[in-house]
């Protein structure tokens, strides 16, 4: 673990960046959906490779995309809580408001899926001392990531992931997004990325049952 992560975890609490596994496993995660324009294309690609992933969904997106949400579940992927509305200002409104907001996201997932999410991932990765207290009370740790490619800020190209591919280790959690409106470059690179992971012997699995700590 990097010195930055050690210091960060000391201040704002522990989190999951990877998951210990007896197999050679990678955990792809997709944030901010579901939607009708990109999520189905990501699901098609995952099916092509017989790969499973975890979708950290924004609760308010579920009602307008019920068919897509149901397909995520039917295809064998898992659901994470990425809040009710992807707010970032809520983290600075106090512990009570923050706790209520996290629960709102969890409750809407339970309402439409019939079960709990695999865990909470804060929007933009924000963690605060208040979030640390809430997670401790829940006996949980937020689910973060070991690798991110800033794919909402720049194109996710083969060049980008190839440059850092050697850093990927078994059990690592990888952050991407299923919100690309012009998705051709993203999907083509994701296709190559998954193929390379498979060629190197990695299994792509959905996250499940890592909380409580």
For the whole model, what pTM was predicted? 0.96
**Domain enclosing residue 95, as ranges:** 15-204
Number of compact structural domains in the chain:
1
Summarize pLDDT for 22-81 with one digit per residue, the tens: 899 999 999 999 999 999 999 999 999 999 999 999 999 999 999 999 999 999 999 999
Q: What average pLDDT does the structure give for the chain?
A: 95
Q: Domain for residue 8, yes or no?
A: no
Q: Domain for residue 161, yes or no?
A: yes
Which pair of structure tokens corresponds to residue 60? 């308010």
Mean pLDDT of 182-205: 97
Long-range contacts of 44-48 (CB under 8 A, 24+ apart): 45/187, 45/190, 45/191, 45/194, 46/75, 46/77, 46/194, 46/204, 47/75, 48/191
Q: Domain for residue 6, yes or no?
A: no
190 has a pLDDT exceeding 80: yes
Q: Domain for residue 90, yes or no?
A: yes
The percent of residues above 70 in pLDDT, for the chain, comes to 97
Q: Domain for residue 7, yes or no?
A: no
CATH of the domain at 24: 3.20.20.370
203 has a pLDDT exceeding 80: yes
Q: Domain for residue 172, yes or no?
A: yes
Q: Domain for residue 209, yes or no?
A: no
Q: Domain for residue 183, yes or no?
A: yes
Summarize pLDDT for 156-170 with one digit per residue, the tens: 999 999 999 999 999
């Amino acid at each position: 673990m990097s010195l930055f992560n050690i210091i960060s975890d000391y201040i704002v609490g522990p989190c999951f960046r990877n998951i210990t596994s007896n197999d050679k496993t990678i955990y792809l995660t997709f944030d901010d959906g579901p939607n009708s324009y990109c999520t189905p294309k990501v699901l098609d690609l995952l099916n092509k490779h017989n790969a499973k992933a975890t979708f950290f969904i924004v609760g308010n997106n579920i009602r307008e995309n019920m068919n897509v949400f149901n397909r995520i579940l039917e295809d064998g992927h898992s659901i994470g809580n990425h809040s009710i509305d992807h707010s970032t200002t809520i983290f600075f409104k106090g512990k009570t408001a923050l706790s209520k907001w996290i629960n709102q996201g969890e409750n809407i997932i339970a309402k439409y899926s019939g079960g709990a999410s695999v865990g909470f991932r804060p929007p933009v990765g924000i963690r605060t001392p208040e979030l640390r207290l809430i997670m401790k009370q829940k006996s949980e740790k937020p689910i973060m990531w070991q690798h991110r490619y800033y794919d909402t800020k720049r194109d996710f190209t083969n060049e980008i992931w190839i440059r850092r591919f050697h850093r990927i280790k078994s059990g690592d959690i990888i952050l991407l997004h299923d919100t690309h409106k012009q998705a051709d470059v993203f999907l083509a690179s994701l296709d190559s990325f998954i193929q390379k992971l498979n060629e190197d012997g990695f299994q792509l699995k959905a996250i499940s049952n890592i909380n409580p700590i």
